[in-house]
Amino acid sequence: MKLLALIRDYGGVPTGALLLTTVGSGVLAALVVVLVNAATAAGIEVEGWQLGVVFMALVAAMYAVRSWSARLLIRSFEQASDRLRQRFAERLRVAPLRDVEALDDPLTRAAADLAFLSTSLESWVSGVQHLTFAAFTTLGVALISPRALALWCLALGVIAWWLRSRLGELVRASAQLGRESATLGRRFEALLNGMEQAKLDKRVADGLIAEITESSDIVRACHVQREDSAMSMYVGAMTLFFVCGTGVAAFASPATFGLDPAKGYEMISFFNLALAPVFGLISALPQLEQAELAAGSLLEMLRGMRAEFDRELDDEPPRFSSFALRRATFAYREDPSGFRVGPVDLTVQRGELVLVTGGNGSGKTTLLKMLTGLYPLTDGAVLVNGRPLASWELQAWRENVTMIVSRQHLFERLYGLEDKDPALVRSLLARLGIDDIVSYRRGSFTPLALSAGQRMRLAMVVALLEDRPLCVFDEWTANQDPEMTHWFYDELLPELLAAGKTVIAVSHDDRFFSRAAHLVTMEQGRVVREARSSRADPPGDQGSTPS
């Protein structure tokens, strides 16, 4: 079982202690049932108080051991869930960026699986305890007679057969419900994100509502199917339990496969006492089966996630006077069109401004990620100071880089920058013109629900605070007004260059191309033109493009 593998590998509780307490609770519960059944069948009166003392002692011991077992199971299960979450986060951290980008939907499912495992704790604990009770009650039944044992095994066997045949149907119904619910959620998200278009065009709104209605009907049908399957499984199992167990014990002739009246009475008592645990286990089975699938999915995903490095990382960023791509190629494996960037030969000198231009889809952003080591090269190499970087050196190289991408994520806190003077942070907010919108208190920015242009300005604040030697900006001015665009080219970039920074920026604004010491033009994944200038035009001089 995948759940047991998860508990074993991540639980942190000794397996022996879990096994001992689980078995012990089952044995004690079975002994209580055997004692009650024996006392009832024998009709003992004189020694009833002595059996009562034994009964109370067994119940007290059962309570203590079951409580201990439950605590161990809870701690083990929660420890496993906690370690699994931490392991998952760590594997994401060391996985290649492209692998993580390709995990969009699987990551959403993994988050749901992790959440579901936590909610299934109660079913897991009760299910394990009910299962051990049923297993050890079998030993008590064996004391009645071999025929009673056969009857008990027949009842459990028929129920197990029934559950196996119905549980698969229930799991399939649950899986379909999950898929259709996700589809419904995406369609609601489309309506919310496209509300402007829906308000402007009745046909768009009608189409979206029709799709939501269709998905809602399917989800309703899936819910009904799942609940019907669960009810059918439960009611069928209860019916079989009474027919094959109590019914045979009470009404079958001893001459066939029934029991004599005394043993039949004992057997009926056993069935009655076992009713709650057996059906507690049956009630927990659907959630346990889903937890099993969730655990299997998570473990499989963890096994399939590659680590980017196979050794300890060198955290010291290498100093550089130049870096380059040599015959570098990156191919998108999952792209049916076979799009690739490269082969590229490109050298960047420390302290220069490199502008990258080209049409949409020409490979500009991919080129930036190749230069910064975010995308592992399919062929070729990244060179720093003329020396190729090994794969395990890429993280250290990336520590030189501060990067703003077109869809920049903004963190609430300044991770790794907690020692920055709050006055400096606020002065940068003012310089970027967002101090009246974004506040900085106790290491956090609020609010983060900003326009696209404001988000890029806040990202620039963080980039300037990071103060790294290589600055990479992917179309930072795309959502800025003319005043802020001129500030970027006329003030910020010259300041960064004067401070010894190397700047690579994607730009479509040919008015500023003459500022670049190195202009790179891309088309269809290739560098089709490079222009270098021994002296870039100063700010304010919007001259001709260097050649």
Q: In what order do the strands lie in the sheet with 401-404?
A: 401-404, 470-474, 502-506, 353-358, 518-523, 526-532
Model pLDDT for residues 212-231, shown as the tens digit of each residue: 999 999 999 988 988 888 88
Tell me how far apart the alpha carbons of residues 100 and 91 are, in angstroms, rounded to a whole number: 10
Give φ, ψ of 273 to 5 degrees. -70, -30
Tell me the whole-structure pTM to 2 decimals: 0.66
User: Which ranges in 120-145 belong to alpha helices (H)?
Assistant: 121-142
Token pair belonging to 527? 């560098």
Find all residues with CB under 8 Å of 144, minimum gap 6, and list them: 259, 263, 266, 267, 270
Q: How far apart are CA 347 and CA 143, in angstroms?
A: 85
Q: What is the pLDDT of residue 546?
A: 37
Give burial (CB, 10 Å; 0-12/13-18/19+) of 470.
Answer: buried
Contact 522, 355 (CB under 8 A): no
CA distances from 412 to 274, 441, 447 (A): 54, 10, 9
- 180 vs 536, more confident: 180
- Answer yes or no: is pLDDT of 527 > 80: yes
Give the DSSP H/E element, type plus range, for residue 470.
Answer: strand 470-474
- For residue 106, whether the previous peptide bond is cis, meaning omega lies within 30 degrees of 0, is no
Whether the predicted pLDDT of 12 surpasses 60: yes
Q: What is the pLDDT of the chain when averaged over all its residues?
A: 80
CA distances for 147 relative to 35, 256, 301, 546, angstroms: 20, 11, 48, 98
What six digits make up the tokens of 315? 């955290």
- Judge whether 12 and 79 are in contact, CB under 8 Å: yes
Structure tokens at 470: 């290589």
Residue 532 φ then ψ, to 5°: -115, 145
How do beta strands 401-404 and 470-474 pair? parallel
pLDDT tens, position by position, 291-338: 777 777 777 777 777 666 655 555 677 888 899 999 999 988 766 667
Per-residue confidence (pLDDT) for residue 311, from 0 to 100: 53
User: Is the pLDDT confidence value at 390 over 50?
Assistant: yes
* Domain residue spans of the chain: 1-144, 322-532
Non-local CB neighbours of 229 within 8 Å, separated by 6+ positions: 166, 169, 170, 173
Give CA–CA dist 340/327, Å, rounded. Answer: 13
Dist. CA 253–CA 275, nearest whole Å: 23
Whether residue 103 is predicted with pLDDT greater than 70 in this model: the reply is: no
| DSSP assignment string, 60-120 | HHHHHHHHHHHHHHHHHHHHHHHHHHHHHHHHHHHS-HHHHHTTHHHHHHHHHHHHHHHHT
- The H or E element containing residue 170 is helix 146-193
CA distances from 508 to 482, 502, 547 (A): 14, 19, 17
Yes or no: domain 322-532 corresponds to CATH 3.40.50.1100: no
Q: How confident is the model at residue 146 (pLDDT cuts 50, 70, 90)?
A: confident
Label residue 393 by pLDDT band (50, 70, 90). confident
What pLDDT is recorded for position 49? 67
Name the helix (H) or strand (E) containing 48.
helix 48-94
**Reduced 3-state DSSP string for 481-540:** CHHHHHHHHHHHHHHHHHCCCEEEEECCCHHHHHHCCEEEEEECCEEEEEEECCCCCCCC
Using CA atoms, how far apart are residues 288 and 311, in angstroms rounded to an integer? 38
pLDDT for res 46: 45
Could you give the CA distance from residue 431 to residue 241 in angstroms, rounded to a whole number? 76
Q: Which range has the top average pLDDT, 53-62, 276-285, 405-414, 455-464? A: 455-464
Contact 344, 370 (CB under 8 A): yes
The yes-or-no verdict on residue 506 having pLDDT over 80 is yes
Answer whether 476's CB lies under 8 Å from 503's CB: no
